[in-house]
Amino acid sequence: MMKSSGIISANRDDSLFGLLASYKANSTYVRVIVHEDEQRIEVQITDNPKNWKNEWDSKDKKHRVLRRLEIGVNSLSIKYIAPEHLLKSMGPFFGFKLPADSAAVADQLHETGIYCITSDLKYKFRVLQGVRKLINLKPHKKYELLEKSIVMDQDKSDDRTV
């Protein structure tokens, strides 16, 4: 009998959750803040909720953080995906259907660890709908976003000509 030269792992998991398991350390946390006096709504996204402490102390106290029940979600985090993956694969507004002239983006992921989308309060329904859609991503869609993000990274680092 001949022995095979390759080693086959019996623990290899090709299921969708098995593929996502290598990204288990990645998480994205979402916070929605309403500024009633300024008539604006703000979505903050980070990979570590500890980053919000610095932001919270420096801003004025005239705002209200929406709870998960007010938003309509079970949790305020997205497993397996880092904020950078969402940004690369979904764009600067993360798929929120907001007019470009009424929304502003503050990308401070590398400095403070927080990515912020600010819009007029009249678009509150659209913002909350976008947050619900983002948090309730199906595992298949999460894997597609990860693949897209990885391919974009490879395209940037590959300097060969075809």
What pLDDT, in 10s, does the model give residues 76-133? 999 888 999 899 888 899 889 899 898 999 999 999 999 999 999 999 999 999 999 9
What pLDDT, in 10s, does the model give residues 48-67? 999 888 665 545 568 899 99
pTM reported for the whole predicted model? 0.79
One-character DSSP codes across 51-119:
HHHHHHHHS-S--EEPPHHHHT-S-SEEET--HHHHHHHHTTTTT----GGGEEEEEETTTTSEEEEEE
Give the separation between CA 131 and CA 134, rounded to whole angstroms: 5
The set of residues, in sequence order, having a beta carbon less than 8 Å from that of 79 and lying 6+ positions away, is 24, 26, 27, 142
The C-alpha angle with vertex 92 and arms to 37 and 153, in degrees rounded to 5, equals 150
| Contact indicator for 46, 83 with CB cutoff of 8 Å | yes
Residue 41's alpha-carbon distances to 66, 72, 142, in angstroms, are 10, 16, 26
